[in-house]
Structure 1
């Protein structure tokens, strides 16, 4: 971190009209800005724990927590209006509590009421207004409402009207840059691809074993059923530690599949469950060909309880599903310990990319990802991962990957091919990518 005295630094404000802890890109913006001689105010909700440095370094970071919207029994339209008014007042109060920043960086979505409030604040305070476009609010609303409904049309108007008034724009894909230019009249957007920070990296077998031991305390699926044996002192379902300290994979260990989700409408986990059912059936028919499979699905969100009930109803012999909420420091380790990742995120606009795949690639983990419009800006089928259109294709990919587990020449050759491309991806990390693409935008505003 820069040693510049705090009172000689410039000021920036980051607005996350969502959970700060589940907004990694905005947290990375904050740490990058602090490293480049800014003090940063962060405005958002505190539903889950953000990065430790944002909480412990009070000299350079200040978090201003937004008030949760009270639960009401209003009809849907009135509830939406009440929520917008509440969030507007909460955001205004937070903005008035900070020192005037050189610029304000806001995450979009959500656009309502964020873009209007932030634009108005910047206009009054003569602060530069920057939007980081992750997706479009109106396209997300259209998942649960008719695209021609008043709410969706109003959200689109607000998003387009006040989005175009920003002084500078960042966005997550080249496809979004082109769409902003063609359909929104925004010609200056700079593409800042998500890249993993250094904590998303491969780990050695000892670190994997330690993680499995830690997880087994809370999740019995990771426990070993081995009886006491003088040859080893510690055992999990995947690994064992010998008395001389050496850690080994178990010969007949399960495969480890991992996925992460916010359990929202833009991720249909029914596809994964159907694919796992296909795998279960194939494994029961050819027991010697397929290993047991432990599928770890991480994350929090509105549809989690619904899917947990569906998972509990399955009577599977070969497949086990675990749905933990992982600590920030454990999530990268789980990705680095898995054999294969699955991404069910599809973009409501077709213009954003799943950060979870970025994290997986950072950890050296190959991935199966559901296809949508611009996914090939990140995942190229059979070059650095697999792309699937439906649960049948995903099931075929799972069966290919885990057939004759760890003793399949075709799979090993595919892994090597994928790994070469993933290694190239890992060579450009967040820090260097941010300095090359985002920093010039912020410097031009100071």
Structure 2
């Protein structure tokens, strides 16, 4: 949502952003004088001690109260843009405040909240059915709608009679290919905290800087090491809709292939993100006895994440849409850096990832392993990787910002 705010500020709108903290926003976001931020208080962790249904009710009441108060504290706005999900209690609180203030509500449909709830409770659970009714009822009260895929637009129209405009997500300008100098600078910084970025052998001269991937000579010239490993990056939310075991199983297979095929490079896997299942999989990774594969799970500053994407050789996306109608923003970001992606298949993914054109679509760990083998064999001169990057560069040249008529522009 911070990129939406930056886009509006770029057009000289005053923007008030209401959301949760926990992560550091991008530097451009923090410094923009047209953007004001209101941080919602986190739900007290003590509610976990309550029975499940009671805890859910207390959580909703807490969120509704804090959101409603913050909405009323912000200056009156001509439009309120709300990203869905989350749906409960967001949609009803936004609708109520908008009605009180005569503001227009625009919903940015990224997915359906009830389908995400259904992943843990099951599609027939009463709460899931109520969530679906709630989302449909209050969703239809908005004055305008955006969605991220044509498939979602058609579904909104046919099932809920909601007319939406498809606006594909595009990566901000901060996501681009990373220069050799910037790669070396980031690797040097990361090597202070994560050994996988450190060189296997340090240079004898103190005037030479070396990482696992790059070297900077006495003249300040940076170059890639000939014997560097390939760099794979994946960003995950560590939740049930992203099965990390698929990647782990594929890496087990890659480890075996790599010992038999000298054309396959050693691999450094960087897995970013945070979530409930991170600790579980981190313990599993630490038990692996891989010789050809190294890994780390870093926590990156907002400014470092796009730089690291621009350094990578290949990306992996494990996101499976709960509804089948949304697209993974992490792939959008990778494409912004012209990084080819292996992405797990689901309905409408082809609206973003074109198999064998700008990426590789797989259905299970065996197909992911096959894709890694195809794309990383002689990876520095791999014709498919070069074709994917070339196609992504052309894709990035197409217009990015969508424009909606929100007038007068000088109003909040």
| TM-score under structure 2 length normalisation | 0.95
CA contact (8 A) 2:148 2:169 kept: yes
Cα distance in 1 between the residues matched to 2:310 and 2:29: 25
Q: Secondary structure at the match of 2:310?
A: helix
- 1:274 and 2:244 correspond: no
Question: Which string of whole-angstrom CA distances, capped at 9 and with x for unpartnered residues, describes residues 147-183 of structure 1?
Answer: 1111101111110000000000011111111111001
Query: Offset of 1:326 from its aligned partner?
Result: 0.8
Picking from 131, 138, 144, the partner of 2:120 is 144
Query: Offset of 1:101 from its aligned partner?
Result: 0.7
- In the alignment, what sits opposite 2:318? 344
CA contact (8 A) 2:353 2:360 kept: yes
Query: Offset of 1:230 from its aligned partner?
Result: 4.1
- In the alignment, what sits opposite 1:427? 397
- In the alignment, what sits opposite 1:418? 388
Question: Which string of whole-angstrom CA distances, capped at 9 and with x for unpartnered residues, describes residues 388-409 of structure 1?
Answer: 00000001111222223435xx
CA contact (8 A) 1:173 1:193 kept: yes
Query: Offset of 1:99 from its aligned partner?
Result: 1.4
Cα distance in 2 between the residues matched to 1:382 and 1:221: 30
Number of equivalent positions: 408
- 1:53 and 2:23 correspond: no
- In the alignment, what sits opposite 1:157? 133
| TM-score under structure 1 length normalisation | 0.88
**Stretches of structure 2 lacking an aligned partner (at least 5 in a row):** none
Q: How does 1:83-232 map to 2 (within 5 A)?
A: 83-187=59-163, 189-230=164-205
Cα distance in 1 between the residues matched to 2:106 and 2:241: 26
Question: Which string of whole-angstrom CA distances, capped at 9 and with x for unpartnered residues, describes residues 162-211 of structure 1?
Answer: 00000000111111111110011102x11110111111111222221111
Q: Secondary structure at the match of 1:401?
A: helix
Distance 1:415 1:68, change over 3 A: same
CA RMSD of aligned residues (A): 1.6
CA contact (8 A) 2:375 2:384 kept: no
Structure possessing the higher relative contact order (Cα contacts under 8 Å, 6 or more residues apart): 2
Cα distance in 2 between the residues matched to 1:290 and 1:229: 29
Question: Which string of whole-angstrom CA distances, capped at 9 and with x for unpartnered residues, describes residues 92-143 of structure 1?
Answer: 1111211111111111001000001111111111111110000000000010
CA contact (8 A) 1:231 1:242 kept: no
Picking from 278, 285, 294, the partner of 1:311 is 285
Distance 1:392 1:444, change over 3 A: farther
Cα distance in 2 between the residues matched to 1:418 and 1:331: 21
Cα distance in 2 between the residues matched to 1:424 and 1:405: 21
